[in-house]
Structure 1
């Protein structure tokens, strides 16, 4: 007799839905520091899409470090290296939502 119950399939970090790992894919990610807490993922995506295709934007909203009491940071994932380089060169030390931000290549 075949079991009626099936284990719920979940996606683990670093895996696509087929179960294959995407760890071997190169990611072009920038770290954006000193952002206003009012900035949204959509606003950042719209701001950075002028430099190249943006694949993903991540803003941690539950950050309890004292350094980030008044500001936050984000990771912006680009489709190509060219977009990452252009964003670093053109956006670093510019203002987003009236805050001077720093943009650098992500180190994770």
Structure 2
């Protein structure tokens, strides 16, 4: 499972997030999606931790916390939904 971290500063780095989440356990991976066209970060990230207990502790501690002049939104990441529609979908 992973954690969704929203309302991030566009200046945040993987190292910044790793440092914050390491306070709650071992961080396995940090992913900061970027805009396809501009290459700029999109303002959210996903953090994977070693255990679900560590994730729960981090979510409880950081959801709503102010960091880099922004109020963080931190919760369990939801599975990506299959998007239907588009030009090649004829059914």
Q: Which TM-score band (shorter chain)?
A: 0.7 to 0.9
- Unaligned segments of structure 1, at least 5 residues: 1-27
3-state DSSP of counterpart to 2:12: coil
CA distance, structure 2, for counterparts of residue 53 and residue 63 of structure 1: 30
- Higher Rg of the two aligned structures: 1
CA distance, structure 2, for counterparts of residue 100 and residue 63 of structure 1: 25
How many matched pairs?
77
**2:51 equivalent to 1:93:** no
- Give deviations 1:20-70, integer Å, cap 9, x for gaps: xxxxxxxx3100010000000000000100001000000012267xxxx9x
Bigger relative contact order, structure 1 or 2 (CA pairs below 8 A, ≥6 apart): 2
Q: CA deviation at 1:96?
A: 1.6
TM-score (norm 2): 0.77
TM-score (norm 1): 0.66
Aligned CA RMSD, in angstroms, stands at: 1.9
